[in-house]
Amino acid sequence: MTESFDNFWAIYSNLVLTIGINGLLALSIYLTLSCGLLAMANAAFMGIGAYTASLLTMNAGAPFSVALLGGMAAPTLVALVIGAPTLRLSGVYLAMATLGFGEVVRVAILNAESWTGGALGLNGIPQSTQWWHVVASLVIVLLVLWRLRRSRVGRAFEAIKEDGVAASLMGIGVLSHKMLAFTLGAAIAGLAGALNAHLTFFIGPSEFGFDRGVDILTMAILGGTGGLTGPVLGAAIITLLPELLRSLKDFRTMVNGIILVVIVLFLPRGLWDPLRFKQWWARRKAVTAASGEKR
Amino acid sequence: MLEQQLVNALSLGSVYALFALGFTLIFGVLGVINLSHGAVFMLGAYAALQAVVKLHLPLWAALIAALLFSGVVGMLIDVLVLRPLRKRNAPHLIPMIATIGIGIFFNNAVQGIFSADNQRFPSDLLPDQQVYFAGVQVSVLEIAIIVLSFALMGALFFIMNRTQIGRALRAIAESPKAAALLGINVEGLFLLTSFTAAALGGVAGVLIALYSNAVFPLMGQPILHKGIAVIILGGMGDIRGALVGAMFLGFAEVLSVAYIGSTMRDAVGFGLLFLVLLLRPQGLFGKVLERKA
C-alpha cells in the first residue's frame, strides 16, 4: 500500500502540489471578485512574488520563510501603489487597466535583465517547497478567507459587490474595502508565485503574462465564485484537464476555450453552486413526496 | 533618417488603429471588451492566405474574402454567444470572459488544423517596388497599408458622425433601452457592429501579415495586448481616442527602436501606458462614468 503510494507520489507529486498552488491563485481572484472588482492583475502579482522570493533565496541567501514573506510583501506594496488610482475605475474599465498593468510588469521583468535574467528567466531556484508548505498555505488562506466572509468586512465586500453607491450610503468605506481586497488578493497571488518558483526551480517572464491571468480567471469562474469551494474545485479541474485530455493532442487546449464559453452560457454561477444544489434537492423531495401521495 | 522612421511609424500606427477601432467600436456600442478580437485578426490573415494559396485569388480579392470571412465570424460570435448573454442580462464581466474562451478556441483550432508553424504569402505576390518621395524610401506596400487604413477609418468616421445609422449607434452607446424605445432596431445594429468591427480586425490581420510576412496561430495575441494599451491610452469606447492612441503607440515603438534600442520597444509603449494608468486611468479622451445617487 505504502509502496504504491510512493510510486504515485513520485510521479504525480508535482501535479498535486500544482493543484494546491492554482487553488491559491483562484482564491486570490475570488477575493477581488467577491468585492465586485474584476481585477486581472493576479498573474502579474504572482510574477512579482515569484521573482522577489527567488531573488531572495538565490542572491541574498535568505531562508525560505523570509523568501515567502518577501514574495507576499512585494506584490502587496505594488498593489497599494497602483490600487490608489485604478480602483476608482469600475467594471470593465478596471479589467482593462489591470490587464495593461500585467503587460507592464511582464515587459519590466523582460527588460530588467541584470536582475531577472530577461527572456531567459531565472534558473536553478532551490527546490525548497515541501508538500506541507503548500497544504499549510492553502489551509491558512482558506481559514482567513472563511473568517473574513463571516465578518463585518466580508459583509461589506458583499454590499459593495451588490451596489457600491448604496454601500457607501450605509457608511461603508468603499475605496478602503476595495483596497483591502485588492492588496490581500495580491499577497495570496504572491505567495502562490513564491511557492511555485521553489517547486519548479525555473521561472520566466512569459509565465506571468496574459494567458496565466486568463487561466486563473477560468479556474474561479469554472468552479463558481459564490464561495470558497468553487475556486479550489475549478483549480483542480483546470490543472487535471490537460492530463485527462492527452488523447486530443493539439486540440487539447481548445477544450479549455469551449469549457469557458459553455460554463458562461449555461452555468453562470459555476459548477459549485449551493443554491442550485438546494433547488435540485427541493425538487427531488417534492417529486418523491408527490409520488408518495399518489400511492 | 527621421523622415524614414516617421513613415514606418505611420504605417505601423495605422494598422494598430484599424485593429483598435474594431475593438473600441464593440466596447462603445455593445459594452463588451471583446478579447477574441485578436483571434479574429488572426483568422483574417489565415483566410487571406488560404484564398491566395488554395483558391489562387489575386491579393485584392483575398483581402475582400478575409474582410467578409472575419466579419461573418464576428456576427456568429454575436449571435451564438453575446446575444444569449444579453438576453439574460448578464453582468458585464461575463461576456468578456466568454470572449476569452472564444479566443482560446480559435487560436487552438487553427493551431490544430494548420500547425503552429509560421506560414508566408507567396513571394511573387507582394508588390516590392520602392517609391522615393522627398528623399524617403517608401514601399508600395506601406503606401497601400496607410491609404487603405485611412480610407476604412474615414468611412467609419463618416458613418458614425454623418449618417442615420451612426446616430442610431451613438444612441445605443448611450442607452440600448432608450434606443429601442425610440424604434431603433438595436439587435440588428449590434449585428452590424459585430460584422464591421470583426471585418476591420480581419483586414488589419491581413495587412500585418503582409507587412511582416508571417502568419501563425498566435499572431493575434501581441496585437490584442497592444489594442488594450491603445484603447486605454485613448480612452475606452472613443473612436478619436483609438486613432490617437494607436498613432501614439506606433510612433513610440518605432522611434524607441530607432533611437534607444530594440529591446526597449515594448517597454516604452507600455511604460507610457503605466504612466497613463497612474495619472489618468480613464485615458486621454475618456470620462469616468460614475453613478450619482
Q: Where are the domains of chain A?
A: 2-294
Q: B41 pLDDT exceeds 90?
A: yes
Q: How far apart are CA B53 and CA B47, in angstroms?
A: 10
pLDDT at residue B292 tops 50: no
Say if the Cβ atoms of B104 and A107 lie within 8 Å.
no
Cβ–Cβ gap B228/A103 under 8 Å: yes
Task: List chain A residues with CB under 8 Å of B257.
Answer: none
Percent of chain A with pLDDT over 70: 98
Enter the DSSP assignment of B135.
Answer: T
DSSP string across chain A: -HHHHHHHHHHHHHHHHHHHHHHHHHHHHHHHHHTT-----HHHHHHHHHHHHHHHHHTS---HHHHHHHHHHHHHHHHHHHHHHHTTS-HHHHHHHHHHHHHHHHHHHHH-HHHH-GGG-EE-------HHHHHHHHHHHHHHHHHHHTSHHHHHHHHHHH-HHHHHHTT--HHHHHHHHHHHHHHHHHHHHHHHHHHHSEE-GGGGSHHHHHHHHHHHHHH-SSSSHHHHHHHHHHHHHHHHTGGGGGGHHHHHHHHHHHHHHH-TT-S--HHHHHHHHHHHHHHHHHHHHH-
Q: Judged by CB atoms within 8 Å, which residues 200-239 of B form the interface with A?
A: 221, 224-225, 228-229, 231-232, 236
How many CB pairs below 8 Å do chains A and B form together? 149
**Dihedrals φ, ψ of A203, to 5°?**
-135, 145
pLDDT band of residue B76 (cuts 50, 70, 90) is: very high
**Are the beta carbons of A92 and B92 separated by less than 8 Å?**
yes
- Spell out which residues of chain A touch residue B88, defining contact as CB-CB under 8 Å: 268
Residue B277, phi-psi category: left (phi > 0), alpha (psi -120 to 50), beta (remainder): alpha
Of the CA atoms within 13 Å of residue B230, those in its CB half-sphere come to 35
pLDDT on residue A146:
95
Q: Which residues of B touch A168 (CB under 8 A)?
A: 293
- Cβ–Cβ under 8 Å, residues B273 and B63: no
Please answer yes or no on whether A85 and B94 come within 8 Å at the CB atom.
no
Assess A206–B contact: CB distance below 8 Å, yes or no.
Answer: no
Identify the pLDDT of residue B291: 46
- List beta partners, residue B131: B138
Supply the DSSP symbol for B215: B
Residue A15 bridge partners (DSSP): none
Task: Answer yes or no: do B293 and A256 touch at CB < 8 A.
Answer: no
Residue of A48, A210, A216 to mutate, testing the B interface (most B Cβ within 10 Å of its Cβ): A210
User: Can you give the pLDDT at residue B293?
Assistant: 40
pLDDT, average across residues A247-258? 77
Backbone Cα Rg of chain A? 21
CB-CB under 8 Å, B236 with A85:
no
Q: How many CB atoms lie within 10 A of CB A10?
A: 9
Average pLDDT over residues B212-226: 89
**Cell for B225?**
495586448
* Segment A37-67, tens digit of pLDDT: 988 899 999 999 999 999 999 998 889 999 9
Q: Which of B276, B212, B289 is nearest to A90 (CA)?
A: B289
Per-residue pLDDT for B289 more than 60? no
Inter-axis angle of helices A91-111 and B220-234, nearest 10: 120
pLDDT of residue A285: 83
Q: Does A126 touch chain B (CB under 8 A)?
A: no
d(CA B232, CA B228): 6
Quick check: A244 contacting B, CB < 8 Å? Answer: no
Q: Left if phi > 0, otherwise alpha if psi is -120 to 50, otherwise beta: which for B135? A: left
Mean predicted lDDT score pLDDT of chain A: 88
Q: Confirm or reject contact between B72 and chain A (CB < 8 A).
A: no
- At residue B286 the predicted structure's pLDDT band, cuts being 50, 70 and 90, is low
Q: CB distance from B260 to chain A under 8 Å?
A: no
Q: What are A158-189's pLDDT values in tens digits?
A: 999 888 889 999 899 999 999 999 999 999 99
pLDDT band for position A283 (cuts 50, 70, 90):
confident
CA distances B204 to A172, A258, A283, B50, B51, Å, are 47, 26, 53, 16, 16
CATH topology classification for A2-294: ABC transporter involved in vitamin B12 uptake, BtuC (1.10.3470)
